Structure 1
């Protein structure tokens, strides 16, 4: 049986790197893409791994990476749209340029990478697209008006896309991680505004995010936790679309399903001390 090939965006660290290592160990061909391939030396030293440059905000970069993947391994069986970053801050203090960049990476990059891979999957009449969303793609969290909007977009894109692609033999799956060690500790940008009216509430919210007294409300998981859920989703033969990843995500999304908007907002206010 031919080895399957997984194409991963944002594979230099966190969930992307953990997933690349996991599938390489499972005997897959792995295309580990990242903006700076210097970060991929550990992966590049492994057999059946192609480390190649991909910046999801650069159209030529996307096309070149996909071409490199197919010329090396022949095809792409799974696309993991993982590249993205978090951003917290009050909307008023967030420059429009910053908002556009968040959308370019988290949404437009995902759409364009998917467009580049779909002709390959359509031709072979098989494939799986796995989009990394967030529990914040179904629960808008404080200071997440821009980031949350991008993840809500990923949810909508994925849900609509599965109707188009199922008849072609292509699956779509959404992964909804909770707080992962790599996310808020390393990759979350924060707009530190000078609008003093927001200071009290921002300080309380950030205390929870950064691990203050209320940190037990958002226990963090390791990237491998998400990787194992990705593996489950790829091999899922049902029409399940969404896969929470991490105890906090499971608990929060279960609460979201059971509580009214008012009840959910009240609970989150209590968790964040606001």
Structure 2
């Protein structure tokens, strides 16, 4: 019987690339997204099941997880749904902050919690979550995005202990820039006149960074490796930019690295 992966945020970017890859490797894919009826590309492939899921909707999380479990034996849950948020804290509305935390952090926690009893009963399974190099180090004007991604990194490390009691693994994929529409529909921005010079420097830097981005297909290949390598390893850095910048932080120390980032933008 083929293995099955449950993917959140499968309508675009890394989620869609991962669905493609796992399907090509003979897996069954449960691709979840807010509007599955609109998905056309993945719908052409065999062994892909589409289910509706907004990870900020607790009732829908529970119903979709129950439906998925009834349809297939789930082996892997890939928490991938999320988006970016850039802007000074002072510029952000309560709604923007809540939506970012609810999507990028709470959605991961609630989807995982919904699957834990199932994995515990069958004494096996893997949770894997998309974080970011922004879950390991910080840039200006990303404070709420970092809050969510740092939280997922720390939460995953802690969860590895309790889940390990039941032969359940948990891992994170921390990419650098991914060549998707991250700076388009997957990125929300807020501006404030008092931070304009910093915004101008940072926003232009993001565009340059995206020009050197790693493809979603390359990151998906690392997701597949993390799922199938059998390693007792929580964190996987993804992409040469993430590897290089994190190596620099380790080499010079966190405070020196913070000052380098400050001098670059301020």
TM-score tier, shorter chain, comes to: over 0.9
The equivalent of 1:86 in structure 2 is 84
Which residue, out of 252, 256, 267, partners 2:249? 256
Pairwise CA distance, 1:239: 1.7
Q: Does 1:231 align with 2:228?
A: no
Counterpart in the other structure of 1:266: 259
In the TM superposition, residue 244 of structure 1 has moved relative to its aligned partner by: 0.6
CA distance in 2, matches of 1:144, 1:81: 21
- Say if 2:214 is the partner of 1:221: yes
- Offset of residue 172 of structure 1: 0.6
1:197 aligns with 2:194: yes
**C-alpha contact 1:43 1:51 (8 A) present in aligned 2:** no
| 1:207 and 2:227 correspond | no
Whether 1:187 aligns to 2:186 is yes
Q: 2:150, 2:238 → 1: CA distance?
A: 16
TM-score after normalising by structure 1: 0.92
Using the TM superposition, give the Cα deviation of residue 226 of structure 1 relative to its aligned residue in structure 2, in angstroms: 1.2
Deviation readout 1:208-259 (Å, 9 max, x if unpaired):
0122xxx49x821111111111111112323221101111011111112222
CA distance in 2, matches of 1:184, 1:259: 30
Q: Provide the C-alpha distance between the structure 2 equivalents of 1:190 and 1:181, rounded to a whole number of angstroms.
A: 19
The answer on 1:24 being equivalent to 2:17 is: no
Cα distance in 1 between the residues matched to 2:128 and 2:109: 12
Once the two structures are TM-superposed, the CA of residue 97 in structure 1 deviates from its matched residue by: 1.9
Q: Tell me, in whole angstroms, the C-alpha distance in 1 between the residues paired with 2:77 and 2:38.
A: 20
**How many Å apart are 1:273 and its aligned residue?**
4.1
**1:261, CA displacement in angstroms?**
2.5
Give 1:155's aligned residue.
Answer: 153
Partner Cα distance (2:105, 2:249) in 1: 24
Q: Deviations over 1:179-218 (max 9, x none)?
A: 112223441100123xx2211121111110122xxx49x8
- 1:123-173 Cα offsets, whole Å, 9 max, x none, are 110101001110000101111111011000111110110000112011111
d(CA) in 2 for partners of 1:3, 1:18: 19
Contact kept in structure 2, 1:76 and 1:117, CA below 8 Å: no
Contact 1:3–1:27 (Cα < 8 Å) also in 2: yes
TM-score, with length taken from structure 2? 0.95
CA contact (8 A) 2:191 2:199 kept: no
Deviation at 1:48, TM superposition (A): 1.1
Q: Are 2:140 and 1:142 equivalent residues in the alignment?
A: yes
Deviations 1:52-111 (A, max 9, x none): 1000011121122212222222x2100000001100000111112211111100111111
Q: Compute the displacement of 1:39 (Å).
A: 3.5
TM alignment of 1:3-82, pairs within 5 A: 3-73=2-72, 75-82=73-80
Distance in 1 (alpha carbons) for counterparts of 2:163 and 2:198:
44
More displaced, 171-180 or 57-66?
A: 57-66
